Amino acid sequence: MKASAFVYPWDVNGDPEAPARIAGLGVAQATLASAYHSTRALTPRHPRHRIVTAEHAAVLYPPGAHWAGRTPRPYPSGDWAPGDAFGEAAAALADAGLQVHTWVVLAHNSRLGADHPDTSVVNAHGDRYPWAPCIAQPATRAYLTGLAAEAAVRPGASGTELESLGWYGLAHLHAHDKIAGVGLGDAGQYLMSLCFCPSCREGYGAQGLDAAELAATVRAALEPVWRGAPSDGGWAGVGKLLGEETAAATRAWRDATARTLQEAAVRAVRDAAPEGFQVLLHADPVSYHCGANAGVDPAHILSVADGVVVPCTGGPAPLTPFARENRPDAVLAANFTVVSGMGGSPGTLAADAAEARRLGATELRLYHAGLASDGDLEAVRSALTAL
């Protein structure tokens, strides 16, 4: 199985030993961030620093002049990734014999939400989620498709992996997060992630819903949840809280909005890319789920993209709906966290990967070569040797 390790440019630039170290894990590819959200990252082996603070979402290369005068537009990075940080790191990784894919984070941008609050998802209570651009808004959709094409097709890259290409919602770690006091469950998360910006209000109307009435219904449905009532049960739980017809209408709007954005973004990448450029999406097989692994319909997304990167740290079961589509040319990449301190289990990687392959995985993704300890990396090296 082909394996790729995720990496940031600041893991590589300024550390001449990093490319060989990553190649020495036994991976054939590095999935290198070219557009990324704000983060604070450990760099345990870098000769010049130990902590990198990326203060806001940014492209890690000089954005094109065609963005001038447009809103929204990508933010250039600060001193955590100066100049063409992506290009510098990509060249070093290629010199070590690694293929390079771009790693592009799209609909996840707290700086955008702070500077332009009207771009954000707005919940039924009127609270804005600045980290979550609403993907129904025409200007935001144009920005995301343009960013996908530019950040994906960078010199030295033979493919891309698009993250957050869909709805983002409540479930997002924020600075000093303190929202876990009430267990919302799957259904409660969905209700708290429904957007009521003007574009979404219009979209609900096209589905036969009155947006004001829907918002009131959502607020009323959540009142027992705030007092401790359960809100789980998957999609059936959403139907119980909202009523099945209303729930189905909200999902029809949101699913169609995400699908058409995914189609447009992939098409924009293909139009900008050379022949044979591979396009993968970070994906969750449950279409109403929100987050970095965008909820998708497996049949649809495998007809649009070359494959998917599927979260498997909690077990490889999410691969199954994609494997059932029986598309022999599609990439099904099982993504495992290999940082012990972040909930990963690098010591069981060989067994986990074997199980993922049994369920249909064709490749592996390993999160994250720059963040992992030396012991974690040694476990990865041993596992890939065994595989």
Question: Could you write out the three-class secondary structure of 205-221?
Answer: HHCCCCHHHHHHHHHHH
Amino acid at 312: C
As a residue count, the chain comes to 387
Domain coordinates in residue numbering, the chain: 2-181+259-386
Q: What is the C-alpha separation between 1 and 382, in angstroms, rounded?
A: 15
Q: What is the C-alpha separation between 135 and 143, in angstroms, rounded?
A: 10
- What fold, for 2-181+259-386? TIM Barrel (3.20.20)
What pLDDT was estimated at residue 339?
98
What pLDDT was estimated at residue 51?
97
Amino acid at 302: L
Provide the strand spans (E) within the chain: 2-7, 29-36, 39-42, 51-54, 58-59, 99-105, 120-122, 128-133, 159-163, 278-284, 294-295, 307-311, 331-337, 363-367
* pLDDT means over runs of 10, the chain (387 residues): 97 98 98 97 97 97 96 97 98 98 97 97 97 97 98 98 97 72 87 97 98 98 90 91 97 98 98 98 97 97 98 97 97 98 97 98 98 98 96
What pLDDT was estimated at residue 177?
72
Residue the block writes with tokens 């009127």: 126
Q: What is the C-alpha separation between 177 and 193, in angstroms, rounded?
A: 17
What pLDDT was estimated at residue 2?
96
Residues in contact with 195: Cβ distance below 8 Å, sequence separation at least 6, in sequence order: 121, 122, 123, 134, 136, 167
Burial class (CB in 10 A: 0-12, 13-18, 19+), 228: exposed
The neighbour count for residue 299, using CB atoms within 10 Å, is 12
For residue 311, the 8-state DSSP code is: E
- Closest by Cα among 156, 154, 163 to 308: 163
298's enclosing H/E stretch is helix 298-304
For the stretch 346-384, what's the b/e string if a residue is b when 16 or more beta carbons lie within 10 angstroms of its beta carbon?
A: bbebbebbebbbebbbbbbbbbbbbbbbeebbebbbbbb
Chain mean position to CA 207: 28
Provide the strand spans (E) within 198-342: 278-284, 294-295, 307-311, 331-337
What pLDDT was estimated at residue 198?
98
C-alpha distances in Å from residue 77, one per residue of 84, 237, 254, 272: 10, 42, 31, 23
Q: Give pTM, 2 decimals.
A: 0.97
90's enclosing H/E stretch is helix 85-95
Chain mean position to CA 104: 8
What pLDDT was estimated at residue 176?
67
